[in-house]
A and B are shown apart, each in its own frame.
Chain A
Amino acid sequence: MNKKDLGLLILIVVVGAIVTAINPRFLLPINIANTANLVGMFGISALGEAFVIITGGIELSVGSMIALVGVLFVDFLANQNIPWPIAVALMLVLGVFIGLFHGVLVTRLKMQPFVVTLCGLLFYRGIARFYTQDSTAGFAFGQSFPDLEFITAGRSWGVPNSFIAMVILAVIMWVVLHRSVFGRYLYAVGKNEEAARYSGIKTGVVIVAAYVICQVLTVVSAIYFAMYTRSISPGSHGNFYELYAIAAAVLGGFSLRGGEGSIIGALLGVVLLQELQNLVNLLGIPSSLNFAVMGGVILLGVLIDQQWGLFRERRRIVEAARNGAATQAPAE
């Protein structure tokens, strides 16, 4: 864990302590479990977004994909009677295809990621609404899928399974990003695609893979969201979720220019965002101010982080100059 992550963790604890002091219900098991469930679901989508952001790209279609996968998945289960493991597999295949599609448009056809995924945002939302004729997709009374419901909305030892799923995925993704050869390539491509290419790295393949990972994780989170809400109105389900994911990554130290960021940072970003949501509810702040609180905190957080970084850099230089003067290095 680097210093940046530690700072974020301290901020989370401090905010938590303040909220607890004002409203002790913050620490009730039911509140913690609810928040953990949300952290789990949003965390999975943020992990995916992180992989795209590290390449210097952006994925804006996350929220619309969550809606599209939601209506398809619920319809497959409730109306088409497709066994749920097959439905899950189909959704994952859809994710792979959409990721490939976005990745190829970005790398082979040299389109800007913002444009590609913005069109995705509009397109998938439209398809989701068309698919259900704008009506809400949901399960019929009495329909139940015990195994699926346990995996998605159940709990183990009191911990929401969505949170456990996120932790498992985060560990895998941590190894991939921070330890594997592919992870190093991601950083290299994000920092300087040209230099990576001149080192013989297949930069196009690396970037396409990032979009595929993002879409697959988005599909996983979409299934969790669908089983959590159990009814999906395609016009509003998942609205802005891509922005939560991007905000979490940025809070966690990712640079939108690419090449910077850590998995732990992104997850801490998700935790902070959900804590803020929770704070708005618990402190009786009008819920209409929800977004304003989030926007304000993200702005402050990133601002302080950058200024602190500049301050430390200046201090390091002054220190080095002093040491240099003390040892009287020979003339340049």
Chain B
Amino acid sequence: MSSATAPSSAPAEPFLTLAGIRKSYPGVVALSGFSMSVKPGEVIGLVGENGAGKSTLMKVLGGVVAPDAGTIVIDGVERTALTVGDSMKAGIAFVHQELNLFDNLDVAANVYIGREPRTGGVLQLVDTDRQRQMVEPLLRRLGAGFKASTPVAALSLAQRQMVEIAKALSMNARLVILDEPTSSLPLSETAKLLDVVAGLKADGIAVIFISHRLHEIEQAADRVIVLRDGKLAGTLDKAEIEHDRMVKLMIGRDLKAQFSTPGQNAGAVAMKVIGVRTGTYPDQAASLELRSGEILGIAGLVGSGRTELARAMFGVDPIYGGSFEVAGSAFSPRHTSEAVSRGLFLVPEDRKGAGLLLDLPISQNISLPDLAKYARSFMVSGALEGKTAETQRRNLGIKAPQVTTRAATLSGGNQQKVVLAKWLAMSPRVMVFDEPTRGIDVGAKAEIYKLMRGLADAGVAVMMISSDMEEVIGVSDRIAVMHEGRISGTLNRDQFSEENVLQLAVGKPLQLEGVAP
């Protein structure tokens, strides 16, 4: 990649202009009177709450959906709608949040999937060598540290995104749209991705960067477009881009209550982790203490062993040394049921795969961990289940028509509340949250934070694993940082800063007084 620093002077002429775009679905106006333009080499941050119309806009640009009104001008040619073919020919490329890559193929094969170069002759075999030769220069241009022949299965998430971007480049993209590219990236990889974005910009390729992580938008974007309720809520130029201003435009008001005030009442130690070794880092031992009434944030890079520690605490994975202590008594769960019976609950990272049974109604999801309680002479009482679920629905504000609604039909935030509800219907002593707000919109995030604080205030020990720096710093009472299977340091509130967390996350000790090793 040539240079990520040179400030590209974007030519004044936009190559893509949308004007007065309107799209309505039965009962819902998804976009109305929306206009924007994209200049070559411009990085546009696109923000908005879930349901603000971002995905409809993407579909219009991708040619999947035809707008009801408005015009789309590409290179001076005016159209009322794009087809998928038009969009591709115009050089608009998408990198979706859920990557569409084949794990079992190598990088080159993924880049040229469906367009494989052939050897010719009768057999028309795939010309693997030529395919790799064509992909190598693209990877060099992106500064990717892997080869065209590397299997995708061996790549990290950020590297996989580079494969997608390489794919876009191979199709001569002029506009790359990144949909939530950093939501599941660790900090170090996020920086790398932002470099790649800067490189694209330097090459005169425009980028639309959709993210809920406003700090990254602040860093990367030349201009920010805010969508609210299908309308353009505002545009911020480089100098105006600021976290609070974006939030204000997104939700139409100030949101100071997003992070709740810290709790004052950290009590006795509720859970101890004593030199625990997990299967991923058997040579490292993690130790920490969790007090009732506090929220302990667990920061660290993705792959630092945080999820593994949570899984071990909950009895999903075995431990290879050390021990746990809950309420003063030693405890080494061999199965999740043992953790559950002690009031140690986990809200897992994979909400849809591990947190919920998507095909079951809300009520049956809530009753599942404590089903025997809902049984009368061995038979499960639907009425009892419904009653509990109704109470939880009111308390947590789960937005669903009925408690018999299938969990699959709920939004991410409401699904997360159902996962919470199933534990709250029992009596938690220790609650572990693994990435509790990933993929959840701003409004619902604030509600989840409030619920976590409410639990802590009620004397529950709360542990929150999060890769979102704002969240860790904003929500936690203390932060423990993990690095390759051990706790590299613990920060008290007066030591909170992104720099400190980052330094511990990469394994460097802090030169601060009062920091536990």
> Chain B residues with Cβ under 8 A from A198's Cβ?
314, 316, 336, 346, 348, 354-355
Q: Which residues in chain A, 152-202, are within 8 Å of chain B measured between CB atoms?
A: 175, 179-181, 183-185, 187-188, 191-192, 194-202
In the complex, A327 has a CB within 8 A of chain B: yes
Smallest distance from the beta carbon of B25 to chain A beta carbons, Å?
Answer: 8
CB-CB under 8 A for A321 and B337, given A181-B375, A192-B357: no
Is B105's beta carbon under 8 Å from chain A? no
In the complex, A197 Cα to B26 Cα: how many Å?
40
Asked whether, in the complex, the Cβ of B355 is within 8 Å of the Cβ of A179, the reply is no
Cα distance, A198 to B349, chains bound together (Å): 11
Tell me the bound Cα distance from A229 to B281 in angstroms: 61
Write the chain B residue with the least CB distance to A200. B340
B52 CB, nearest partner CB in chain A, Å: 8
How distant is A176 from chain B, measured CB to nearest CB, in Å? 9
How many angstroms from the CA of A194 to the CA of B27 in the assembled complex? Answer: 37
Contact with A along B52-83 (1 / 0, CB 8 A): 01000000000000000000000000000000
- A184: chain B residues at CB < 8 Å are 364, 368, 371, 380
**Cβ contacts under 8 Å, A89 to chain B:** none
When distances are taken between beta carbons in the complex, the residues of chain B under 8 Å from A181 are: 371-372, 375, 378, 380
With beta carbons under 8 angstroms apart, the residue of B27, B339, B353, B422 that contacts A192 is B353
Task: Classify the interface of chain A: helix, strand, loop or mixed.
Answer: helix
Query: Which residues, 327 to 353 on B, are CB-close (under 8 Å) to A?
Result: 335-337, 339-341, 346, 348, 350, 353
Cβ-based interface call for B498 (8 A): no
Return the CB mask of A303-332 against B: 1 if under 8 Å, else 0.
Answer: 000000000000000000110110111011
Task: Verify if B244 is at the interface (C-beta below 8 Å from A).
Answer: no
Alpha-carbon distance between A329 and B335 when the two chains are bound, in angstroms: 47
A191 to B407, CA, bound (A): 13
B357 touches A197 (CB 8 A): no
Q: Indicate the member of B26, B29, B380 with the most A CB atoms within 10 Å.
A: B26
Contact of A196 among B368, B378, B380 (CB under 8 A): B368
Q: Which of B7-51 contact A (CB under 8 A)?
A: 25-30, 32, 51
Does B369 make an interface contact (CB < 8 A)?
yes
- Is A259 part of the contact surface with B, judged by Cβ < 8 Å? yes
Number of interface residues of A (CB under 8 A): 30
The answer to whether A329 touches B28, judged by C-beta atoms less than 8 angstroms apart, is yes
The answer to whether B348 touches A329 (Cβ under 8 A) is no
Q: Are B354 and A195 in contact (CB under 8 A)?
A: yes
Out of A194, A201, A324, A332, name the residue touching B230 (CB < 8 Å).
A332
CA–CA, A178 and B128, complex, Å = 54
| A residues less than 8 Å from B379 (CB atoms) | 175, 179-180
- In the assembled complex, B152 has its CB within 8 A of some CB on chain A: no
Q: How far is the CA of A331 from the CA of B348 in the complex (A)?
A: 32
Q: Which one, A179, A192, A200, A331, contacts B336 given CB within 8 A? A: A200
Let me know if B26 and A321 touch, CB within 8 A.
Answer: yes
Cβ-based interface call for B356 (8 A): yes
Asked, given contacts A185-B371, A192-B357, A199-B369, whether A332 binds B316 with beta carbons under 8 Å apart, the answer is no
Contacts of B346 in A (CB 8 A): 198
Cross-interface CB contact of B30 among A187, A328, A329, A331, cutoff 8 Å: A331
B355 touches A188 (CB 8 A): no
B359–chain A nearest beta-carbon distance, Å = 6
Residue B516 interfacial (CB < 8 Å): no
Q: Given A188-B360, A201-B368, verify A195-B353 contact (CB < 8 Å).
A: yes
Chain A CB within 8 A of B229 CB: yes
CA distance A184 to B382 in the complex (A): 12
5 contacts across the A-B interface (CB closer than 8 A):
A183-B380, A199-B422, A200-B369, A202-B335, A328-B27
7 closest Cβ pairs, A-B complex: A324-B27, A200-B340, A325-B26, A321-B26, A331-B29, A199-B369, A329-B27
